[in-house]
């Protein structure tokens, strides 16, 4: 991989769709997901195996995974039950979510972080072939507890690495991180992290792209974003959309970084999102007058 290549992980079909109350038909989801793959994503969260009582929008995850057998899909799971269901549907890669803060983990998955990590151990034992990304929610701040000490994040990372997860992802669940905090956190944690590391960013306070740039400057080469800037955890008060994939791609390409994404094609997917899912998008690029990337570098 070239030094200036950044992998963008698209989480719109999971983080984005989960925040939308009105049912999005499975065939619409599949049409959008396929268009996203067509735009060049190689890594995408396409759904979540969570309780339909917690998030009804994700209840078709099995069908989605089965229909996308030919694609490199990842699905979010919160417990052993979810991992089993994902595995049986044919999923090969999971995002296992645990919050660093106890209160958010209780609100989100109704158990302590310790209990969640114990369940991860069972998942690793039961399904050793599943590729596991450990997503550490509230790594930069919690809606209930406020500041999160870097040491607490470091402990979770250590536990995850002891369990031999395949990837670590630090999530700014409520979009509260600032670029200096991102820099400090990564300087403290990166010497300890010996496997692929990504950052999952939200733009609640307008700092998302600055945080992505701060992370890239520290050597992170994997960033999670959502088409259109949709997204948000329903169990984190005040959480808003992810950073928009098209804004991130535009920023990176215009600075000379490479990604696998074709910005023109991605902007066409934003149009699909506007038409079928959410008429108002927070993404800047999707709201340019004629939604083209004319005038800026959109080379891959």
CB closest to ligand COA, residue no: 82
Partner whose footprint covers residue 74, from Zn ion, ligand COA, none (CB < 5 to 8 Å by kind): none
Helix, strand, coil fractions of the chain, as percent rounded to 5: 40, 15, 40
Q: Least distance (Å) from ligand COA to the CB of residue 248?
A: 20
Task: Single out the residue of 185, 189, 168 nearest to residue 176, CA to CA.
Answer: 185
Question: Whole-number minimum distance, CB 75 to ligand COA, in Å?
Answer: 10
State the Cα–Cα distance between residues 94 and 92, nearest whole angstrom. Answer: 7
Between the alpha carbon of residue 117 and those of residues 95, 154, 156, 229, 272, the distances in Å are 13, 14, 9, 30, 38
Nearer to Zn ion, 144 or 271 (CB): 144
| 8 A C-beta contact, residue 85 and residue 131 | no
Phi-psi region of 287 (alpha: psi -120 to 50; beta: other; left: phi over 0): alpha
- Helix (DSSP H) and strand (DSSP E) numbers for the chain: 11, 8
178 binds, among Zn ion, ligand COA, none (CB under 5 to 8 A by kind): none
- Nearer Cβ to ligand COA, position 37 or 235? 235
CB of 258 closer than 8 Å to CB of 251: no
Nearer to Zn ion, 15 or 246 (CB): 15
Least distance to ligand COA, CB of residue 109, Å: 4
As measured in angstroms, the least distance from the Cβ of 198 to ligand COA is 15
Residue 90 C-alpha from the chain's centroid: 20
Span between the terminal Cα atoms of the chain, in Å: 14
Beta carbon nearer to ligand COA, 18 or 250: 18
Whole-number minimum distance, CB 6 to Zn ion, in Å?
19
User: With CB cut-offs between 5 and 8 Å by kind, which of Zn ion, ligand COA, none does residue 259 bind?
Assistant: none
Residues 152-171 that bind Zn ion (CB under 5 A): none
Our answer to whether residue 142 is catalytic in this structure is no
Q: Which residues contribute to the site for ligand COA (CB under 6 A)?
A: 18, 48-51, 54-55, 76, 78-79, 81-82, 85, 97, 108-110, 233, 235
Phi first, then psi, for residue 42 (nearest 5°) are: -115, 0
Size of interface with Zn ion, in residues (CB under 5 A): 1
Residues 6+ apart with CB under 8 A from 102: 112, 113, 145
Determine, following the binding rule CB under 5 A, whether residue 246 of this chain makes contact with Zn ion: no
Which of Zn ion, ligand COA, none is residue 39 near (CB under 5 to 8 Å by kind)? none
Closest CA to 230 of 15, 33, 9: 15
203 binds Zn ion (CB under 5 A): no
| CB of residue 271 to ligand COA, shortest distance in Å | 26
Q: Are 239 and 267 in contact (CB under 8 A)?
A: no
Options 142, 169, 233, 293, the catalytic residue: 233
Binding at 18: pick from Zn ion, ligand COA, none (beta carbon under 5-8 Å per type) = ligand COA
Token pair 């972080």 is found at 113
Interface of this chain with Zn ion, residues 4 to 23, rule: CB under 5 A: 15
CA distance 134 to 297: 34
Beta carbon nearer to ligand COA, 19 or 259: 19
Which chain residues interact with Zn ion by CB under 5 A? 15
Catalytic positions, written as ranges: 233
């Amino acid at each position: 991989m070239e030094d200036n290549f950044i992998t963008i992980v698209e989480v719109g079909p999971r983080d984005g769709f989960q925040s939308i109350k009105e049912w999005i038909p499975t065939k619409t989801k599949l049409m959008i997901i396929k268009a996203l793959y067509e735009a060049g994503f190689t890594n995408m969260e396409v759904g979540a195996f969570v309780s339909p009582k917690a998030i009804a929008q994700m209840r078709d995850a099995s069908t989605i995974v089965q229909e996308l057998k030919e694609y490199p899909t990842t699905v979010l799971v919160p417990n052993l039950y979810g991992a089993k269901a994902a595995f049986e549907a044919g999923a090969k890669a999971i995002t296992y979510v645990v919050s660093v803060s106890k209160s958010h983990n209780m609100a989100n998955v109704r158990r302590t972080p310790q209990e969640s990590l114990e369940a991860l151990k069972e998942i690793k034992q039961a399904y050793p072939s599943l590729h596991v990304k450990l997503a550490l929610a509230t790594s930069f701040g919690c809606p209930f507890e406020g500041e999160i000490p870097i040491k607490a994040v470091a402990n979770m990372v250590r536990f995850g690495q002891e369990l031999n997860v395949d990837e670590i992802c630090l999530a700014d669940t409520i979009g509260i991180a600032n670029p200096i905090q991102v820099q400090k956190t990564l300087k403290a944690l990166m010497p300890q992290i010996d496997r692929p590391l990504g950052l999952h960013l939200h733009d609640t306070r307008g700092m998302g792209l600055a945080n992505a740039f701060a992370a890239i400057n520290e050597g992170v080469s994997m960033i999670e974003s959502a088409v259109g800037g949709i997204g948000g955890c329903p169990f984190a008060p005040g959480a808003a959309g992810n950073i928009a994939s098209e804004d991130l791609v535009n920023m990176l390409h215009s600075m000379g970084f490479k990604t696998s994404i074709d910005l023109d094609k991605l902007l066409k997917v934003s149009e699909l999102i506007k038409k079928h899912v959410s008429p108002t998008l927070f993404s800047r690029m999707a709201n340019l007058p004629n939604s083209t990337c004319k005038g800026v570098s959109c080379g891959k």
